[in-house]
Amino acid sequence: MDLNRVHAFVQVVEKGSFTAAAQSLGLPKSSVSRSVSRLEQDLGVTLLRRTTRTSTLTDAGVAYYERARAAVQQLVEAADAASDAGDEPRGVVRLTAPIDVSGRMLTEPLVRFVREHPRIHLDLVLTARQVDLVAEGIDLAVRAGRLADSTLIARRIGATPVALFASPEYLARRGRPKKLADLARHDCVLFRGNGMRSRWTLDGPRGEESVEVQGPISADEMQFVVNATDLGAGVAMLPVGLAQASLDAGRIVRVLPELSQRGGSIYVVHPSMKHLPRRVALLRDFLLAELKARFDS
């Protein structure tokens, strides 16, 4: 039996379509479709019901997929183990991260990593959505906040502090707030605001304080919030690490610097597996060492 046909079938099921499977395998869609058809001929059963838009597993397809997936994974792990036996790590590592942290925080370390390991190729998926690591064949992820998937192996990097910022131009125009309650009368740039409103809670000398704020702009991508704050759109509550470049350049300044928030935890995560390829472990350990210095523990 041609194992390439089995692999193509497993990819179609896991990626959800022939088109996505073809992109993952780096093959024409017609080649993937032909491989699955020939596998069905070899087995004498129909594995997938095809329509012009979707493909669904038959009962025989479900049973075959469950066993074929495990066999393909074992072959992949065997290939990784054989590759790891060499002197120099090699191969592809797929890494996903939020767009918000894909700037200099990741770019500089990753460029240095590939210089140190020239036979490792990094394939980055930078997106605001929550990527299914197993279904999309991702080796590592940098994630922020609470981890919903308990099957992932997670290593905590640290927590990113959050503070208040505004541009000098905005403060000259609207005045500098003297206490947190003043923000209720200011324009604020909101991250995932609810109906153009949000409640901000920070810690200060008098303990925890909160205020309901509103503003003309709300976004679900933090780098946009930073950029809008740079341009004078209002006061924003930003991760200090993400705001640092704008702060250093003088585009923004701290507002009410005695107030801050600890922020969410940052993790490096990967799927649970018996054998973690050496190239993946190398990148994981490299990121942990590089990024921990940038966050509060």
Domain boundaries, the chain: 3-84, 91-157+265-292, 162-255
**Class at the top of the CATH hierarchy for domain 91-157+265-292:** alpha beta
Look at residue 78 in the predicted model and tell me its pLDDT: 64
Q: Is the pTM of this model over 0.75?
A: no
Look at residue 50 in the predicted model and tell me its pLDDT: 84
Confidence check: pLDDT of 180 > 70: yes
Confidence check: pLDDT of 288 > 80: yes
- When mean pLDDT is compared over 23-27, 78-82, 114-118, the highest value belongs to 114-118
Q: What is the pLDDT of residues 49-64, one digit of tens each?
A: 887 677 889 999 899 8
Q: Could you count the other beta carbons within 10 Å of the beta carbon of residue 260? A: 17
Do 3-84 and 91-157+265-292 have matching folds? no
Query: Does residue 12 contact residue 21 with C-beta atoms inside 8 Å?
Result: yes
- Higher pLDDT: 222 or 209? It is 209
Pair of tokens at residue 213: 């704020």
> What is the rounded CA–CA span in Å between residue 37 and residue 41?
6
Question: Binning pLDDT at 50, 70 and 90, where does residue 218 land?
Answer: very high
CATH of domain 3-84: 1.10.10.10
Look at residue 160 in the predicted model and tell me its pLDDT: 79
Look at residue 200 in the predicted model and tell me its pLDDT: 96
Query: Does residue 157 contact residue 292 with C-beta atoms inside 8 Å?
Result: yes
Confidence check: pLDDT of 18 > 80: yes
Query: Does residue 264 contact residue 160 with C-beta atoms inside 8 Å?
Result: yes
Confidence check: pLDDT of 193 > 90: no
Pair of tokens at residue 80: 């990784």
Question: Binning pLDDT at 50, 70 and 90, where does residue 85 land?
Answer: low
At 6, which helix (H) or strand (E)? helix 3-15
CATH of domain 162-255: 3.40.190.290
Look at residue 122 in the predicted model and tell me its pLDDT: 95
Mean pLDDT value across residues 66-90: 71
- When mean pLDDT is compared over 126-135, 136-145, 205-214, the highest value belongs to 205-214
> What is the rounded CA–CA span in Å between residue 46 and residue 53?
18
- Higher pLDDT: 80 or 105? It is 105
Mean pLDDT value across residues 170-193: 95
The one-character DSSP state at 231 is T
Question: Binning pLDDT at 50, 70 and 90, where does residue 69 land?
Answer: confident
Least confident of 3-12, 111-120, 204-213, 248-257: 3-12
Q: Give 29's Cβ-side CA count (13 Å radius).
A: 5
Mean pLDDT value across residues 255-264: 90
In the numeric block, the tokens 């927590």 are attached to 159
Question: Binning pLDDT at 50, 70 and 90, where does residue 80 land?
Answer: low
Question: Binning pLDDT at 50, 70 and 90, where does residue 147 land?
Answer: confident
Mean pLDDT value across residues 91-98: 92
User: Strands (DSSP E) along the chain, which ranges?
Assistant: 48-50, 55-57, 91-97, 120-126, 140-144, 152-159, 162-166, 187-191, 197-204, 207-219, 235-239, 253-255, 265-271
Q: Is the dihedral of CA 56, 59, 65, 70 positive or negative?
A: positive
Confidence check: pLDDT of 236 > 80: yes
